[in-house]
Amino acid sequence: MKSRLTALAFALHTLALGGLSGHAHAAADVPAKYNLREHYTKFEYRIPMRDGARLFTAVYVPKDASKPYPFLMERTPYSAGVDIDDELHYGVDFYPDQVGPSPEFEQSGYIFVQQDVRGRYMSEGKWQEMTPHVNARRAKGEGNESEDMHDTVEWLLKNVPNNNGKVGILGTSYPGFYTSASIIDSHPAIKAASPQAPVTNLYMNDDSYHGGAFMLAANFDFYAAFVDVPNPTPLPKSWTRFDYGTADGYEFFLSHLTLSNIANTMTQNQRALLMPNIEHATYDDYWKARNVAPHLKNIKAAVLTVGGWYDAEDLQGPLTTYSSIKRNNPGIYSGLVMGPWAHGGWNRYEGKSLGHVQFDAKTGDYFRSKIEFPFFEQHLKGVANKNAAEVYAFETGSNVWRNYAAWPPAQAQTRTLYLGPNGTLDWKQPAAGDAQAFDEYVADPRKPVPYTAYPATGVPKEYMVGDQRFASTRPDVLTYRSEVLEEDVTLSGPVKPRLFVSTTGTDADWVVKLIDVYPPSYPNGGQGDEHRTDVPKPTLTMAGYQQLVRGDPLRGKFRNGFDNPQPFTPGKVETVNYSMADVNHTFRRGHRIMVQIQSSWFPLVDLNPQTFVDIPKAKPEDFQKATQRVYHAPSMYSGIEVRLLPATR
């Protein structure tokens, strides 16, 4: 749901939300150059829905009435109130420093609308986790986001004067979901929509689960703060952090070991939100009802979906949303923007770097001024957009923007990187040799592989490009690397591990990481990180840096389907095939390509006991060591399937 939060739960989350209210929260980072109060009048309404529930809605109307204006709206579960020093304020006298996605919107002139979604803060009704679009058992007070948006638009058109009859909607993360859900069977006045980092299918490589493995650190951090309260009753505090009692999340979670023990550190209200995510450990009807992708139909608006290649929370959501809208709604504009950003980073940062990795350009500024603003100006005001394209994809590594007619690029060709003996990695299958050729390691769930080299709580955004040298030295991590590249290699599209494996246990996680190894002569630099001030930044040599490009787990019991858990037979060789999120990355000449394989990634991912049990109910004695093998013998060639772009484009 949501943005599952990173280490500074409220601060990072609200600053990343984007859209309207998120930018209002973020305004403290940027000196105000435009006095909103001087140019806009604020109104507050309680707009009635068809079932009688009233939704709190704040509306900011330009004082200049010489021309009509379009509506630009955000629907949010994070409060349409004004956040001042972590205190929420409702009332027409309270103004944020900034209300639009960027200052250009305020200066151009829009009627800005912010709405508390049903059951949150000052809105009536019953809130639902990722509101099911189809709900045969809808209880009293529960709604449908498409219907709520339709009723809101109808009311706004009739009751807010001097509008031009056109409506746009946008939002990031959970508000991104509300954007997508609000345009199903869309009201004809909705002309433009931009779901940004939209939560789409919580189970399928989205916030809750990746490859059937529970994303522990992010979900715990989020639900410890996202407390459901009776409505309409605004909380005095906009967000409250969980007290871990330590700066080391690895230590905190490992000391409790089991999911039940971890959940018991929460209050009853916090557990009430977290536990459904933990208990529904397979892709069951609970998750299927909350998957919005199949319902993205009868959309009449132009849609610009936005995401980040390094979004730890909602990387898959934009890719799924874009492809679903394009497939189900022929004849409309369905565009995609993918930049080198962490969650919501396109909304407020310059976008020059993440962690120690540099992008050589102000990518966030470029998106806001050259892509986002012209998109809404075109579809809500009829302004020509000379920069229009279907796909804007930043190519990391080479650090350039590319435009494509569709995603993934049609010219990309499927190839396989094969794992070989002695830690080799090559486009060619290993030569026939030992019929039992394999690499092995002992995985101990009580000594799991960490996902960062430093202590942290929550999920630091920079882990998505983090240095993996610390993992290369561990005996429970297999490392394969190519020869030094003689020319650039660009991968564009999904990354698909294709492994032959065995285990001495009855269950196992298989975590695969694709890594860019910098040359030993690489110049130093890249020490700044505009996203974080609390992450340790020791002096670091970029020569030999092992940058994570993509990584994801597969919980082995789901190798034959996420609704069909099956145990391993100890010692039996089986196939493990799965798909990680897409990349658009160039491994430069002089670099190497690396693949790492391990069986834990803690506490990013919850622990697999390595015995075939219902993990939410696992007991300490269920956590057992196991020997894992990855094969590269004839007829059992393990590898990574990728999509390779031609050298000349």
The pLDDT score that the predictor gives to residue 10 is: 32
How many other β-carbons are positioned within 10 Å of the β-carbon of residue 521? 8
Give percent above pLDDT 90 in the chain: 84
Domain 9-131+142-300: CATH architecture, name and number where available: 3-Layer(aba) Sandwich (3.40)
Provide the β-strand partners of residue 592: 517
Does residue 13 carry a pLDDT above 60? no
Strand pairing category for 82-84 and 163-172 = unpaired
Q: Which of 4-8, 60-64, 269-273, 428-432 has the highest mean pLDDT?
A: 60-64
| pLDDT at position 25 over 80 | no
Q: What's the maximum distance between 2 C-alpha atoms anywhere in the chain?
A: 81
Report the alpha-carbon angle 127-130-134, nearest 5. Answer: 95
Which tokens is 396 given? 């990391």
> Mutual orientation of helices 216-223 and 249-256 as an angle, nearest 10°?
90
Residue range 277-295: mean pLDDT, rounded: 97
Rounded to whole angstroms, what are the CA distances from 576 to 291, 439, 499, 549, 551?
25, 15, 5, 21, 15
Q: Going by DSSP bridges, is the β-strand pair 353-354/302-308 parallel, antiparallel, or unpaired?
A: unpaired
Assess whether pLDDT exceeds 50 at residue 18: no
Whether the pLDDT of residue 479 is over 80: the answer is yes
Q: Are 620 and 407 in contact (CB under 8 A)?
A: no
Residue 253's pLDDT band, with cuts at 50, 70 and 90, is very high
Specify whether the CB–CB gap between 551 and 309 falls below 8 A. no
Cis omega (within 30 of 0) on the bond before 603? Answer: yes
Residue 515 φ then ψ, to 5°: -130, 140
Cα 153 to the chain's mean position, in Å? Answer: 28
Query: What CATH homologous superfamily does 413-644 map to?
Result: Galactose-binding domain-like (2.60.120.260)
The yes-or-no verdict on residue 137 having pLDDT over 50 is yes
Helix (H, G, I), strand (E, B) or coil at 304: strand
On average, the pLDDT of the chain sits at 91
pLDDT above 50 for 306: yes
Q: Where are the alpha helices (DSSP H) in 464-572?
A: 469-472
- The mean per-residue pLDDT over the stretch 560-584 comes to 98
318 has pLDDT over 90? yes
* Confidence tier at 238 by pLDDT (50, 70, 90): low
How is 548-579 classified by DSSP, letter by letter?
EEEEEEEEGGGTT-TT---PPPTT--EEEE--
Model confidence over 458-475: pLDDT tens digits?
A: 999 999 999 999 999 999
Please give the average per-residue pLDDT across 177-203, as a whole number.
98
Strands 302-308 vs 40-48: parallel, antiparallel or unpaired: unpaired
| 104, pLDDT greater than 80 | yes
Distant-in-sequence, close-in-space partners of 369: CB < 8 Å, separation ≥ 6 = 102, 104
pLDDT score at 561: 97
Cα gap 193→364, rounded to integer Å: 19
Q: What is the pLDDT at residue 218?
A: 97
pLDDT in tens, 212-237: 999 999 999 999 887 666 677 766 56
Indicate the pairing of strand 489-503 with strand 626-633: antiparallel
Query: Distance (Å, rounded) from C-alpha 167 to C-alpha 156?
Result: 10
Domain ranges of the chain: 9-131+142-300, 413-644
Give the predicted TM-score (pTM) of the model: 0.93
Please tell me the predicted confidence (pLDDT) of residue 230.
66
Are residues 590 and 507 in contact, defined by beta-carbon separation less than 8 angstroms?
no
**For residue 34, what pLDDT is reported?**
81
- 363: helix, coil or strand? helix
- Name residues whose C-beta falls within 8 Å of residue 154's C-beta, 6 or more positions apart in sequence: 187
Residue located via tokens 């339709």:
150
Output the pLDDT for position 607.
98
Could you report the per-residue pLDDT of 75-91, keeping only the tens digit for each?
Answer: 999 999 998 887 889 99
- 364 three-class SS: helix
Please tell me the predicted confidence (pLDDT) of residue 269.
86
